[in-house]
Structure 1
Amino acid sequence: MNTSLPAPARVGYRELLAPRARRPLVVTGAISRLPLAGAGMAIVLAAGGATHSYGLAGTASALYVIASSVMAPLHARRMDRTGQRRVLMVAGSTQATAFACLILACRTSGWWQVPGILVAAALAGAAQVDIGSAVRARWAHAVPDRVSQQTAFLLESVVDELMFILAPMAITAVTVAHTWAAPAVVLVGPAVGWLLLAGQTGTAPPPLARSDAGPSGARAVSMAGSRSLVAAFVGIGAYLGSIEILLVALADADGAPHWAGYTLAAWALGSASAALVAGPHLGRLTPERVFVPAMAWMTGSGLLLPLAGSRLPLAGACFLAGIGAAPALSSGFSLIGRRTAGAAEGMSWASSGMGAGTTIGAFSGGWLADRTGSGTAFWLCVGFGVAALALAWRATSGGETGSTARSSV
């Protein structure tokens, strides 16, 4: 991939979305993210409400996450080799059917209810496509210059944050009447979003050439020079996962569990605001110049979390830390996209790494909160943040960057 082509000095969101073919990409990408943003919550609510066992509900949710983490990179590799349309149509139909079976299992009773819930959750996870990587791969194909790609990835960060706010709200509204109906919200993602995305052939990247699809081709391209970046995404996931679980634990300990939603919304608001306001300006900078400073801002703001003595300062700290989140993630994905020639597999490995890190952070944060109190446990988040910052610095300096730069021109 040639990165030496001249790029515009600045690309705003209006210029980015001027071609009409790109506008549906944003809308369908948002709808397609419903499983990513709400499947775990929907499975827990539906299974827990049907069986009155949150141990079973947690098991079903864990099966979904494990199956998704294993299969998403494989789906991404197939999209790179055969094109996105076929994978999205098959996986979308499969996952929609799995969520429908989950609803059916939760509505009925009998000996097969529990195995039905577990099998449906696992099947839904196995069919999960990393939609964020698929959409970003389309942007990498549609806008080959670096500045436009950086702006596009920042726009996708805004969409991510909005869906992580809207999806839980929609699921909560549905479950007021029937808990078993929670998966119906996320079912819209594969049944509508994925199939519409499959039909948008104008933005779809072409399959890799057969000469690039062998062991020395696509696989080498996908992972060459990106391992340290994937490690950095693991660190980011651990940082974010530990913060999320500890915010919930602290709000619950204070007898105001709804405050967890407010603080998480403050984080999302800070992230979305940074992407909307500063996105076109940050797009002028190389990803290397954005990634580490944004990570440093996010980690530095995280130092305020264990020092916040009440709810409002905690929400303020989350807002400040969130300001660095969208620039850090978008520049990280931009680096992955550049180093892997826009392959969906490379970006999917980054997403999977962040998912694995989130699991590590949530588990260790919850374990520590049970023993020390969530206020003290926030120092664990700081530790994860420092580790993520160190990994980000390593990923943008040294051998891998240089070798990748030589191989991409």
Structure 2
Amino acid sequence: MNENRTSAVEPFDAVEVIRTKRDGDRLTPEQIDWVIDAYTRGVVAEQQMSALAMAIFLNGMDREEISRWTAAMIASGERMDFSSLSKPTTDKHSTGGVGDKITLPLAPLVASYGVAVPQLSGRGLGHTGGTLDKLEAIPGWRADLSNEEMMRQLEEVGAVICAAGSGLAPADKKLYALRDVTATVEAIPLIASSIMSKKIAEGTAALTLDVKTGAGAFMREESDARELARTMVDLGSDAGVRTVALLTDMSAPLGRTAGNGLEVRESLEVLAGGGPADVVELTCALAREMLEASGVNDADVETALADGRAMDAWRAMITAQGGDVDAPLPTAKHVEELRADHDGVVEGLDAMGVGVAAWRLGAGRSRPGESVQAAAGVEIVAHVGDQVRSGDVIARLHTDTPERIARATEAIRGSWSYASAGTELPQRRIVIDRIA
């Protein structure tokens, strides 16, 4: 049987595009549009995109290239539209860290001012916890909402935290997995375009970025974090999204908990007008940025936490997604205490050590799709600035599987560093800089 088939002639060749970037030259807008589209369609092979990702990692991209790359990623899928809402929209993205539960109190706090917060979030992988994993510690709460449910909740409640749909920037999903196995994750143009393609596709009018630096952050060096923040702010501005970034400290964990249910409990303390000072400080700093970008100036966000308005918005948000706000949070079957081995004042607490311990206790996953323990994690008793004596409890390790304790202890044991008792330590700066 004779079939006449005509295959479309591609306007570019993958090898030609790879060679351009390999040799340190600029990719043209047309080359970028084609390579992202062709990769999404399967015309550009995984090996070829791997080579291009490495060429980008080694030779970088200029602002115009990154902006066009991001636009091409957005064009690979659908875009959300919140223009039908009766209120302005604003969103926040964090580059992730240990104990970073800020989204939980932040979204309802901002919503209590009549601003819509469509917070499309993800799950954790490795030592950084995922917002959806935390909220799933609440009995009945569900992460997956239809677009119609999301729009209704934004109009009626003002805040939604849910899973991002698969239709947003599908090219990024493919490329993200590829970068993970080709040692190109740290390429700043690719990190920035990955984050911003999804955030711009979400359709929010304003975006506040929390870019972390320090031992527990993805970008450990401040110079790298600053470059990433600047790149993302430029990408947002180029796309017409009002974007600002706060450079924040992740040398030590945020708050006194790392783990899903433990972090929900601490977030509730913040929403009740209490909670750790560093969590409150960062929540309020980000809330002010988000509100100002939406036209709400000089908001007294501390009072909104203290007088119950933010808690009311939290209860409405959780209830709307099926969560039982009055149900007790899960508790671990096994809790092990870790004790100090000498006297002193805690002058440092390694965020990475705490994060890895929480992960090993069952709070995180090693690969996508793994289940996590809702009650597992680390409760920090002695944080930076606290005076301790030998034998004092400095942390509690929570898990449902006690056989995990030994490896978690191994990860966290050396995380505390001490100065002589009575030493006055410099004040920790949570917000290092503002980049707009």
What TM-score, normalized by structure 1, do the two folds share?
A: 0.29
Structure richer in strand, relative to its length: 2
Tell me: higher relative CO, structure 1 or 2? Use CA pairs within 8 A at least 6 residues apart.
Answer: 1
TM-score by length of 2: 0.28
